[in-house]
Amino acid sequence: MRHIFIKKEGSEELLLFFNGWGMDLNPLSGLALSSDLLLFYDYESIDSEINISQTVKDYAKVHLAAWSLGVWAAAEALAGKNIAFASSFAINGTLTPIDEELGIPPALYDATLASWSEESKERFYRRICGREGREAFLPPARTVDGQKRELAALKERITTQKATPENPFSCAAASTKDMIFPFEAQLRSWRAIGVEATRWETPHYPFYKFTSFEEALFRGRG
């Protein structure tokens, strides 16, 4: 698991953001933020190069947000760390990410993995953004091979896990136009563990709708 401090300017607050599969900082680069921001991405390995528990001790408040497969990756990476988050928000993902009823349909996941290439990558970006979001989406600077290894590694860990990871999220957002994590599957998954999911009228990639992380993670909740 890779990380980067997108912003580290001595703020009293820190946002931990777990990005989606295949991503880096590029798709989020248009969002402003007042607090410090530590971004995680590339979950080929869940091992972190940074001590998360030690890092958050420097801050008065710590917030958690995750998008897409980063929702599951966050729960896996934070297991047992007992961090008291001031807020924790899951966006267009679930803790059961490869599941016919509660996540991405397995056939869709497998088809994405089997066909991943330079050509299919652009089709995938159009699929996650929709017509309205594609122009604003800055593609990640990731290799096709690296993305494919990450997707395969995630499948291996998700499908062999003995139990659903402990839930670190207090609220969620589910997009009605999501073509990756079906909207109804997200609602079922969060309802099953007692988490309220806000309805967003966006595709899977919703961030083109917002100008800042604060707007997306707080005012964007409904």
pLDDT tens figures, 98-157: 999 999 999 999 999 999 999 999 999 999 999 989 999 999 999 999 999 999 999 999
User: Predicted confidence band at 222 (pLDDT cuts at 50, 70, 90)?
Assistant: low
User: In 3-state terms, what secondary structure has residue 64?
Assistant: strand
Percent of the chain at pLDDT > 90 equals 94
Could you give the count of Cα atoms lying within 13 Å of 205 in the half-sphere of its Cβ?
A: 25
| pLDDT confidence of residue 96 | 97
Pinpoint the alpha helices (H) of the chain. 52-56, 69-78, 106-115, 118-133, 144-160, 183-192, 213-217
* Average model confidence (pLDDT) across the chain: 95
**CB within 8 A of 204, min separation 6: which ones?**
68, 92, 127, 128, 129, 175, 177, 178, 179, 180, 181
Which among 181, 194, 222, 185 is positioned nearest to 66, based on CA atoms? 181
d(CA 33, CA 62): 14
Percent of the chain at pLDDT > 70 equals 98
User: CA–CA distance from 128 to each of 68, 133, 218 (Å)?
Assistant: 10, 8, 22
Which among 28, 8, 9, 10 is positioned nearest to 18, based on CA atoms? 28
Which among 57, 1, 76, 65 is positioned nearest to 37, based on CA atoms? 65
pLDDT(219) > 70: no
d(CA 23, CA 26): 8
Domain ranges in the chain?
Answer: 2-221
What is the CATH architecture of 2-221?
3-Layer(aba) Sandwich (3.40)
CA 216, 14, 92, 159: dihedral to nearest 10 degrees?
Answer: 180
The CA R_g of the chain, rounded to the nearest whole Å, is 16
Exposed, middle or buried: residue 40 (CB in 10 Å: 0-12, 13-18, 19+)? buried
pLDDT in tens, 55-103: 999 999 999 999 999 999 999 999 999 999 999 999 999 999 999 999 9
